[in-house]
Amino acid sequence: MIFLISLIPFVILLCYDFKHSLHMAQQNLYNDDKRFLKWTIKDFKQFKTPLKCSLVVLVTLLILIAFKLHSKFITAIYFSLVCILILILKIREERSNDTKIGLKVTARVKRLMVTNFFLFLLIMAGISFIKDDNLRYLLLFLYDILINFVLMLSIIINKPVEKMVYLSFKNKAVKKLDSMGQLKVIGITGSYGKTSSKNILSDILNVKYNALPSPKNFNTPYGLIITVNNYLDKFDDFLIAEMGAYKVGEIKELCDLVRPKCGILTKIGTAHIEIFGSQENIQKGKFELIESLPHDGVGVLNGDDELQRNYKLKNDCKIIWIGIDSNDVDVRATDIKTTSNGTTFNVRFKGDENKYEFTTKLLGYANIYNILASLALAKEFGLTINQMKKAVLAVRNVEHRLELRSAGNITFIDDSYNSNPVGSKMALDVLKSMPGLKIIITPGMVELGDKSYELNKEFGLYMKEKTDVVILVGEKITKPIQDGLKESGFPEKKVYVTKNSKEAFALARSLATEKEAYVLIENDLPDIYNE
């Protein structure tokens, strides 16, 4: 009875740790490419206070077992108290870290919960045969410490079920697509700019047609299957499918699923190079979209991107080149002017001697490229210049992509989604063009592999003369930026390092005492990167 009562605080601690484990597994794509395993090993290496306490408990229990000390009552109290203490420490740590994206309780998460529950029952059944309470406590505590590995086992056990569920939904989506003969599918991929390009294209095509963009960041096989099954309507003329990938072959898998007639390749960079393995793999992986198009399909490529220019394309479909710097493109933007209210620019179409002035509320050169790609396809699908002008003027700000939000005397330039080496510099250029006090809040960039230090240091160097104040989030992760700032001669008294985003925003508000202030939020890393 004493043993069972002492399990109450342990079960509460275990439930808390299991929820956290599920959360991190979800953010690490359920251990795809061993991402959750790598995160777990990294987390253990950080050796945080709760883990230190857990190891002290394990050592204590081992001593009790070694010296055969069997005071059930004292051991039960000790075990209960340490469970409560560790739980308090973990809750305090979670609150200080400022959780950004919570656990989404999907059907897959529920299945993992059931599998884990049965694994726990098996453990309890095995422990019931052990007479020594100290050994029981030791095994239970080990179970809690190794909960991430137990969850990985659950993921492996559930693989056949997940495959069956996936195939069922996939077949349903394929049948629906086959039944919609009038539907044209447009795929969009690239190292960055996919979501912005998708939403811009949707806003422009919807002036004349019914176009459905895949919601949010639904850019995986599951995401596109859900889009087709739950969102696609029989009256839709276009499905605009955002396509994300972490390795070669994944874009091809998405193309085999939705069979795009047209494709836009935004820009090829170093985003996710740590997972792809090399720049060459990223280039090859992204071009899978264009090489999957039918012979009568249309691909839109960026003429200012050398990695697109020098690629030997294995497809004879029609290619439309867009650009700003390059002269020999089919659709080109010139005379670009940016203010705090938006951007104006001229567009020239190949074969047309006229130039047409466009105005948009969007900021940054990246969005100009996205608009040009959309205009290239809009012209292909018969939109008039006036329709395109009207659509570009009405294009909505994309959430967390250079989105302007006002709060009193502060205007936030929210560029918090998935920062990259090119986009981060463009965002700084936008910040520089703003009046008043200029502040940047950033934790830097991730998933850059061996180039992580070099590119983040360059980011720090580029901040010189672009901003008045720098607020860095996380001392360890921002070390390369700190080095770049120091090398550039940026004033040290204008550089601040905070523990989390909450602290950074509070500091920015306290510093923004002028009548007008602009705060660039450049990247907001998910919870798996909390220090």
DSSP letter (8 states) at residue 230? I
**Start-end of H helices in 28-132:** 35-46, 49-66, 72-97, 107-127
User: Which residue(s) pair with 300 in the sheet?
Assistant: 264, 320
d(CA 433, CA 452): 27
**How confident is the model at residue 253, as a pLDDT?**
95
> In this structure, what token pair is assigned to residue 54?
């857990």
d(CA 338, CA 271): 26
Residues 6+ apart with CB under 8 A from 514: 409, 436, 437
Q: Determine contact, residues 308/302, Cβ cutoff 8 Å.
A: yes
| pTM tops 0.85 | no
**How confident is the model at residue 121, as a pLDDT?**
94
In words, the CATH class of domain 403-529 is alpha beta
Work out whether strand 403-407 and strand 495-498 pair parallel, antiparallel, or are unpaired. Answer: unpaired
CA 194 to chain centre: 12
d(CA 243, CA 224): 9
| Counts of helices then strands in the chain (DSSP H, E) | 21, 15
Q: Determine contact, residues 363/402, Cβ cutoff 8 Å.
A: yes
Beta strands in 155-307 (DSSP E): 184-189, 211-213, 238-242, 262-265, 298-302
Residue 310: exposed, middle, or buried by beta-carbon count in 10 A (0-12, 13-18, 19+)?
exposed
Q: pLDDT in tens for each of the 531 residues of the chain?
A: 677 888 899 999 999 999 999 999 998 889 887 889 988 998 888 777 777 878 888 888 777 777 666 677 888 888 888 889 999 988 888 776 655 678 889 999 999 999 999 999 999 999 888 888 888 888 988 999 999 999 999 999 999 999 999 999 999 999 999 999 899 999 999 988 898 999 999 999 999 999 999 998 789 999 999 999 999 999 999 999 999 987 889 999 999 999 999 999 999 876 666 666 677 888 999 999 999 999 999 999 999 999 999 999 999 999 999 999 999 999 999 999 987 788 999 999 999 999 999 999 998 888 999 999 999 999 999 999 999 999 999 998 877 778 888 888 899 998 887 678 888 888 999 899 888 899 999 999 887 777 889 999 999 999 998 999 999 998 888 999 999 999 999 999 999 999 888 889 999 999 988 778 999 999 876 544 455
DSSP letter (8 states) at residue 220? S
**How confident is the model at residue 99, as a pLDDT?**
58
Q: Determine contact, residues 363/339, Cβ cutoff 8 Å.
A: no
Q: Determine contact, residues 162/253, Cβ cutoff 8 Å.
A: no
Give the domain ranges of the chain: 2-157, 181-394, 403-529
Which one of 3.40.1190.10, 3.30.310.50, 3.40.30.10, 3.30.2320.50 gives the CATH number of domain 181-394?
3.40.1190.10
